[in-house]
Amino acid sequence: MSARIVVLGGGPAGDVAALRAAQLGAEVTLIERAQLGGTCLNWGCIPTKALLASTDLLRKIRRAQEFGIEVDEPRVNFAKMMSRKEDIVARQRAGVEAACKRKKVEVVHGQGSVASEAVVVNGKRFPFDFLIVATGTEAAGLPMLDMSQPSVITSNGVLRLETIPKRLLVIGGGVVGCEFASLFVALGSEVTIVEVLPRLLAGIDSRTAAQFQKMLEKEGVTILTGRTVKEILQYRRDGLVAALDDGTKIDADKLLVSVGRLPQTRDIGLEGTGVKIDNRGYIETDDYLKTANPKIYAVGDCRGGLQLAHKASAEGGRAVENALGDKPIAMDWSVIPNCIYTHPEIASVGLNADTAKDAGFEVKAGTARVVGNGKALAEGEPDGYVQIVADAKTDRILGATIIGIHAVEIIQEIAVAMSDALTMDELGAVIHAHPTVSELVMDSAEQGEGVAPYLS
């Protein structure tokens, strides 16, 4: 008899877990309370990138004269932008549904609750030999805000806007807040970011964060760091007035709350299974993704760590391989690319110059500025740099940070190099095609070794 795998949650972690389990010959049931694809496909990665692609094109059109092309001032059809976004999401979702059908994964829609080695959905029991919990997270609100007001939105609400807000107040200068600020400033909104920390993007190194902030301010975004929203003085259907802790008043059409996400792990029956949940709501697992209950694994955002779709998918596949196999393999979270889809793009992997020093390494860094790259100049994007950091004693690559054109594509090369334990010297010796933006990887590695023809 085939092993019975039940997957609770149909996002990137759950989808991959279900499909991989089916590949391994299990009898699979995938339970999702909303739509397959989860936050990433329906409310996060895919729809936001579709909108950001529109504003990237808009920026290019506005600069067409620099490229020798004369056009009139472009007009934004926001409804068409949103419709295109929905079409892309629908096509992607249909692909997930088709894959489940091909692999004979039973998809059940409804709220699932764990009870006595089964998951109950709408009164029907789905027994399991192994349960993969992939319930994800939801956008967090703030207790001092009335989240029911139409002028207060989260990242979900942004994707349902019918018009472009003239004035957008963003609480939170993390990845989500900065991506939406980059989006709406291009669409003509007056954008203000309020961030409690002393700088934006706390997850990246201070040099890159400072350069990005200057670029965002150059585009017209007002950035108020080290500040908080103290209270809302007035709610209106068409806006609100917020007061900051220093007395500043900000009138906005929409207030976007981007202060993180909360795990969806409570009230689904896990408390009675022996599974341990920490005080923040995240499920505790070992490095093999197994919980305190040997029949239950947890993957993706609901177990904490970096909240990235590709990390979640990797965990989903590994969890079922460990559950069904006889030689479990621990997860390695040391090489996971982290991408920020602002303008310009930012991408990182492993350690950066700050965190490598904090970890006790003697750091050797190699840097190449985008302004010296012919392909980037040809594309009209001269801003940014690639920085690779290595252990000065062994020359092994510890990580990298890229800010600039195609950063989210180029970072993969350095991730592969790290996975293969390459040194900075070995990466710099790899011949790169010319002219390409990815030459910056070779240039930065050579610069770190002191052998770059134009930089050393």
Annotation says 310 is catalytic: no
Dist. CA 410–CA 404, nearest whole Å? 10
Dist. CA 247–CA 230, nearest whole Å? 9
105-140 b/e (C-beta count within 10 Å ≥ 16 → b): bebbeeebebeebbbbbeeeebebbbbbbbbbbbbe
CA atoms within 13 A on the CB side of 124: 9
Q: Which two tokens stand for residue 14?
A: 């759950």
Which residue, chain included where needed, has tokens 């806006």?
A: 239
Q: What would the 3-class secondary structure string for 41-88 be?
A: HHHCHHHHHHHHHHHHHHHHHHCHHHHCCCCCCCCCCHHHHHHHHHHH
Dist. CA 189–CA 203, nearest whole Å? 26
Residue 375 one-letter amino acid:
K
Which residue, chain included where needed, has tokens 């795990």?
A: 263
Of residues 264, 272, 335, the one with CA closest to residue 303: 264
| Length of the chain in terms of residues written | 456
Q: Which candidate in 310, 343, 432, 434 is catalytic?
A: 434
- Segments of 106-257 assigned E as strands: 106-109, 112-114, 118-121, 124-127, 130-133, 137-139, 152-153, 167-171, 190-195, 222-225, 229-236, 239-244, 249-252, 254-257
Per-residue DSSP letters for 204-237? S-HHHHHHHHHHHHHHT-EEEES--EEEEEEEET
Quick check: helix, strand or coil at residue 402?
Answer: strand
Which residues are 399's β-sheet partners? 350, 389
CA atoms within 13 A on the CB side of 381: 19
Residue 283 one-letter amino acid:
I
Dist. CA 321–CA 22, nearest whole Å? 11
CA atoms within 13 A on the CB side of 82: 12
Residues with a catalytic annotation lie at 434
